Amino acid sequence: MAEYAHSKWKGSTDGTPWMQRSLVRLAGALHPSVLYCVVALVIPFYMVFAGSAYRASYSFYRRRLGFGPLKSFAGVYRNFFSMGKIVIDRFAMYGGRSFNFTIDENNCLSALCEGEKGFVIASSHVGNFELAGYSLSLGGKRLNALVYARETQAVMEGRQEMFSRHNIRMVPVSADLQHLFMVSTALADGEIVAVPADRLFGSEKSIRCRFFGEDASFPAGPYALAGARDVPVVAVFVMKTGVTSYTISAVKVEDAASFAAALENTVRRYPYQWFNFFNFWD
């Protein structure tokens, strides 16, 4: 699972490098359902020690979705279990396993990929967005993915291996803001840039938007970046719908408010696949 502390997102995956590399080999060799069973048994112990992650997840189901105490407790279990399955799937992909992807009928990605202009993908911590880059046909466009530089070595190695096969370039967020120049140039060259749009990721500039009945902070960066290059922004959600199947949906968004609305709609449809383990409304 992703690592969290002091109610703030740290953006790295739990486990030692040896554990993660072993998981890549196991997930590539075994059917995912086998490892899901192991995860299902481990989750109760994880919940005991999850601390702030447990409280944030429980509060979401109790306060934002209005679940009762028992249903909220069960919701935390399902949320953590979904996260475990997503991590297994990601490592399985690193290990060479393939998954089935269905693109919904209202998807706008095809037209954008076939056009000459670049565009910005606003990603979020729902479902398994990373797998989209390995499965989408991008019309020959390179995908430049902003990634958190503090991720573990095993995860970064797995990503690099997969990205090298699919015309994807990792752009680590850097303190000197060099990543901003790289992605701006990529958009000018007609390429695609994927930016997390539900975290203050590499910038403190934010916009307060209504989200599940209360104002929350969303980054302004994706829309400023798109505006500077006069390119569209599309929110992409990759949701797990079966053991080896995912559904990809995409919707054009104009600003942080419309992205927040699209994200809320998706989370309401898949309430156990939003992996937010800190106080989002802080």
What is the DSSP secondary-structure string of 51-95?
Answer: THHHHHHHHIIIIIS---HHHHHHHHHHHHHHHHHHHHHHHHHHT
Question: Same domain, yes or no, for 111 and 250?
Answer: yes
Can you give the pTM of this predicted structure? 0.87
Question: Same domain, yes or no, for 65 and 146?
Answer: no
Report if residue 167 sits inside a domain.
Answer: yes
Report if residue 69 sits inside a domain.
Answer: yes
Residue 11 has pLDDT above 50, yes or no: no
Domain boundary among 70, 94, 118: 94
Question: Same domain, yes or no, for 85 and 109?
Answer: no
Report if residue 39 sits inside a domain.
Answer: yes
Q: Percent of the chain at pLDDT above 90?
A: 55
Question: Same domain, yes or no, for 85 and 119?
Answer: no
Q: Which amino acid is at 108?
A: C
Total domains in the fold of the chain: 2
Question: Same domain, yes or no, for 182 and 244?
Answer: yes
Q: Percent of the chain at pLDDT above 70?
A: 82
Please, which pLDDT band fits residue 55 given cuts at 50, 70 and 90? very high
* Per-residue confidence (pLDDT) for residue 1, from 0 to 100: 39
Dump pLDDT digits (tens) for 90-144.
Answer: 888 887 888 898 888 667 888 888 889 999 999 999 999 888 777 676 778 899 9
> How close are the terminal C-alpha atoms of the chain, in Å?
22
Question: Same domain, yes or no, for 144 and 239?
Answer: yes
Report if residue 229 sits inside a domain.
Answer: yes
Question: Same domain, yes or no, for 68 and 132?
Answer: no
Domain boundary among 62, 94, 126: 94
Question: Same domain, yes or no, for 46 and 127?
Answer: no
Residue 13 has pLDDT above 80, yes or no: no
Please, which pLDDT band fits residue 162 given cuts at 50, 70 and 90? low
Question: Same domain, yes or no, for 110 and 208?
Answer: yes
Report if residue 110 sits inside a domain.
Answer: yes
Dump pLDDT digits (tens) for 236-254.
Answer: 999 999 999 999 999 999 9
Question: Same domain, yes or no, for 64 and 105?
Answer: no
Q: Is 153 helix (H, G, I), strand (E, B) or coil?
A: helix
Host domain of residue 29: 2-94
Residue 281's alpha-carbon distances to 31, 83, 105, 204, 257, in angstroms, are: 38, 21, 33, 15, 15
Report if residue 279 sits inside a domain.
Answer: no
In angstroms, the CA 113 to CA 194 distance is 13
Domain boundary among 48, 72, 94: 94
Question: Beta strands 2-5 and 245-253: pairing type?
Answer: unpaired
Question: Same domain, yes or no, for 134 and 261?
Answer: yes
CB 232 within 8 A of CB 226: yes
Residue 83 has pLDDT above 90, yes or no: yes
Query: What average pLDDT does this structure show over 26-55?
Result: 90
In this predicted structure, which of 40-54, 76-90, 195-209, 216-230 has the lowest mean pLDDT?
Answer: 195-209
CB 173 within 8 A of CB 149: yes
Question: Same domain, yes or no, for 90 and 138?
Answer: no
CA dihedral 182→183→187→188, nearest 10 degrees, is -30
* Per-residue confidence (pLDDT) for residue 7, from 0 to 100: 36
Report if residue 215 sits inside a domain.
Answer: yes
Report if residue 66 sits inside a domain.
Answer: yes
In angstroms, the CA 264 to CA 243 distance is 24
